Structure 1
Amino acid sequence: MSRLLLLLAVLLGSFAGRAQSPDKPKTCPYDSAHFDLFHPVPRNQLRELRPDRPGVTESPFTVDAGHFQVEVDGFRLINRREDDQREREWHAAYAMPKLGLSRRTDLQLEVPVFATQKQRQADEPNWEQHRGFGDVAVRLKHNFIGDDEKQPFALAAVGWVRLPTGGQAGAGGAEYGLIVPADVNLGHHWDLEGQVETKLNYDRETSKHYLGVVPSVALEHDFNDLFSFMVEGVARWDEQRAGWRNSVNVAPIFNLTDNFQFDFGAHLALNRETDREFFVGFTYRR
């Protein structure tokens, strides 16, 4: 794991012990006994928009009961190298619609509308290419602590299963995962987030699953009501590759309205084996 990720993890522990109250007094917007999927929260009582994007580190906050939210990668380019193999992948309109089921729980789908994968050997000029609809994932998020935004600490869990709907453009088999995200409000418009994801990926060539682990830590600052900036450290490990693959991710975030957020950014590789990514996307809540 990179030194940067370790440093950010230490910061998470030290800041958690002295986390301050939010800058502006906040009250719980609703009582879970009153609102659910069929009795939506009034729009004038919605909590702050807290999407899972743009970083790898997700938010422990759920979508308000009875409301719909969609998070979209308008475009994402991924460059990858493994030994003597080169891969290039890009997604268009990679959407994650979400539905608030209750105060603490929401249901999510990952819908890769269009994906293209290209790969070749390093000494060959021609690419093998697959394109089309990708693998759909079903996700369920539940918040355990801090859903009312009154506490300086929030914790949740996200369970997911990815279905092999993408044919040659997908993994080729079902995949499974569990994500545990946390958020510490540091005060003065600073938030520190961390998570650990464990997953079972599928290898098409061997027709077997293999374990992967992805810890990450992100620091976000709201400069004003319109503009925020995120910096994130991510480490990846799995059974198929030796060592950790590390990156630093950066993303400016523009909060254009209370219900619409625009972002773009990059994953900057810290070692040769790490994917390099560039993306642009948005979040909309209704």
Structure 2
Amino acid sequence: MGLLTLPGFAWAQDAPKASPYDSAHFSWRKPVPRNRLREMQPDRPGVTESPFTVDAGHMHVEIDALRLSNSGTGKAEQQRDWSVAYTLLKLGLGRRTDVQLELPVYAVAKRRPTGTREWQDRHTGFGDVGVRLKHNFLGEAQDGSFALAAIGFVRLPTGGTTGTGGTEYGLIVPVDFELSSKANLEIQMMAAGLYNREAGRYLSLTPSIALEYDFFEKLGLITEAVAQWDTAGRRWEPSVNIAPLLKLAPNVQLDAGTHLALSRLADRQYFAGITLRR
């Protein structure tokens, strides 16, 4: 679905002209000129997000075109989730801040007890909407070796039976270290108050670390280690993400990858997506 929008967002694909980034006097009503745009830095495809915001007055459309998630084989209940066109809309408000809207366009959620063959519970429809605000504290110009930001979010129970059933909220703190012109190391901590229909409310902690390496101008790779702990299960669930990046143009990026479980409790995922900048 997201690929159909590609022609409408892929204009102005010439490489940005070399000029210093200075958007202090720009806003969402007065966009940064295209010859001053920084390199596009999406929050997808991994768990670890970028500390860089969208340039003032511009938009990102980051789409999980398709994602399949299977729960760990060691859990008492097996869960399989499909999401289609899970969309993150981002608008640059100023030099350091952007606002984001999560739109889970279509989701399929299935459940069954471990050891059985037939899915006993199946729900489809629109998912839970989220609102996020990102603010960069250090390194917004992308011309240094260190950057730091914070992302606050709230997710509303708009998805009915396909959603969690309760309001969720949290804080994400991503950090970026530029190792070289081709490599970046990103570290993140996420703390969230989540909701489960059986367990009720619980606290989740998710540290992650990712290495992004650009082999060529248009081809890169993200490798990522993730661990999740929560007060409901009180155990760590480690996993690894691997995702190649295809940077078709300064305003278009494709990605695909897998979320590999390192324990019988961690989820396994497969995904493909696209990021567009306007």
- Cα deviation for residue 181 of structure 1 reads 0.2
The residue that corresponds to 1:140 in the other structure is 133
Q: How far apart are residue 78 of structure 1 and its match? A: 0.1
Partner of 2:197: 204
AA aligned opposite 2:36 = Q
Output the CA distance in 1 between the equivalents of 2:28 and 2:230.
Answer: 38
Aligned partner of 2:113 in structure 1 is: 121
SS of residue in 2 equivalent to 1:168 = helix
Structure 2 contact 23–94 (Cα < 8 Å) conserved? no
The Cα shift of 1:30 comes to 1.7
Which residue matches 1:257? 249
Preserved contact between residue 19 and residue 36 of structure 2 (Cα < 8 Å): no
Q: Which residue of 1 aligns with 2:7?
A: none
For the residue of structure 1 that corresponds to 2:71, the secondary structure is strand
**Conserved? CA contact 1:74–1:282, under 8 Å:** yes
Distance (whole Å) between structure 1 residues aligned to residue 23 and residue 234 of structure 2? 49
- Which residue pairs with 1:52 in the alignment? 43
Q: Residues 97 and 109 of structure 1 are in contact (CA less than 8 Å); yes or no, is this contact kept in structure 2?
A: yes
Residue 67 of structure 1 is matched in structure 2 by 58
Q: What is the DSSP-based 3-state SS (H/G/I as helix, E as strand, rest coil) of the residue aligned with 1:187? A: coil
> Are 2:157 and 1:164 equivalent residues in the alignment?
yes
Deviations 1:177-209 (A, max 9, x none): 100000000114110001000000012125x31
**Residue in 1 aligned with 2:80?**
88
- Given that 1:105 and 1:140 are in contact with CA atoms closer than 8 Å, whether structure 2 keeps it comes out as yes
Which letter maps to 1:61? F
Give structure 2 stretches of 5+ with no counterpart: 1-17
Structure 1, residues 84-129: CA drift from partner, whole Å, max 9, x if none?
2111001000000000000100000110000000000124332110
CA drift of 1:278 comes to 0.3
Superposition map of 1:1-286 within 5 A: 28-32=20-24, 34-81=25-72, 83-127=75-119, 128-206=121-199, 208-286=200-278
Contact conserved, 1:28 with 1:149, CA < 8 A, in 2? no
List 4+ stretches of structure 1 deviating above 3 A.
none
Looking at structure 2, the residues matched to 275 and 219 of structure 1 have their Cα atoms a distance apart, in angstroms, of: 21
The one-letter code of the counterpart of 2:167 is A
Give the aligned CA root-mean-square deviation in angstroms.
1.1
| Structure 1 residue 223, shift from structure 2 partner | 0.9
What is aligned with 1:21?
none
Deviation of 1:27 after TM superposition, in Å, equals 5.9
**8 A contact 2:221–2:244 mirrored in 1:** yes
CA shift at 1:150, angstroms? 1.6
What are structure 1's unaligned runs of at least 5 residues?
Answer: 1-25
Tell me the residue number matched to 1:22: none
Match of 1:6 in 2: none
Supply the distance in 1 between the matched residues of 2:90 and 2:202 (Cα, whole angstroms): 28
Is 1:236–1:244's contact at 8 Å kept on the other side of the alignment?
Answer: yes
In the superposition, the TM-score normalised over structure 1's length comes to 0.88
- Which AA in structure 2 matches 1:161? V
Query: May I ask how many residue pairs the two structures share in their alignment?
Result: 259
